[in-house]
Amino acid sequence: EAQVTQNPRYLITVTGKKLTVTCSQNMNHEYMSWYRQDPGLGLRQIYYSMNVEVTDKGDVPEGYKVSRKEKRNFPLILESPSPNQTSLYFCASSLSRGAYEQYFGPGTRLTVT
């Protein structure tokens, strides 16, 4: 089954404790992206990757890092999480940057205390 998976689905952590949210897709998509969803703001792009070893900042990249060492994986790293990063995070992928139709993962609800 074609899908985007994320882990963990729920995470409660404390300020400053590094964490990684994994994302994997099995559709051989070139383009992958991370969004955060906050009430009243919709989804905002954090980082994106057009292919292996090619990543770039989205609209709200501060406090986040990503890597793309393999085509299927695109982890999101919070080196020193803060309470304002409490949010719902979605990973998404699409065939290429031009395709735009993106397939979303199930989401990771992160709480930073």
Partner 1 sequence: AQSVSQHNHHVILSEAASLELGCNYSYGGTVNLFWYVQYPGQHLQLLLKYFSGDPLVKGIKGFEAEFIKSKFSFNLRKPSVQWSDTAEYFCAIGSGNTGKLIFGQGTTLQVKP
Binding site for partner 1 (CB under 8 A): 4, 31, 33, 35, 40-45, 48, 50, 56, 58-59, 90, 92, 94, 96-107
Comparing CB distances to partner 1, the nearer of 81 and 89 is 89
Q: How far is the CB of 101 from partner 1 (least distance, A)?
A: 6
* Backbone φ and ψ of 22, nearest 5°: -90, 155
Contacts of residues 82-85 at CB distance under 8 Å and 24 or more positions apart, as own/partner, are 82/15, 82/16, 82/112, 83/15, 83/112, 83/113, 85/110, 85/112
Comparing CB distances to partner 1, the nearer of 18 and 57 is 57
Comparing CB distances to partner 1, the nearer of 42 and 113 is 42
The answer for residues whose C-beta is within 8 angstroms of residue 10's C-beta and 6 or more apart is 108, 109
Comparing CB distances to partner 1, the nearer of 71 and 104 is 104
Q: How far is the CB of 80 from partner 1 (least distance, A)?
A: 26
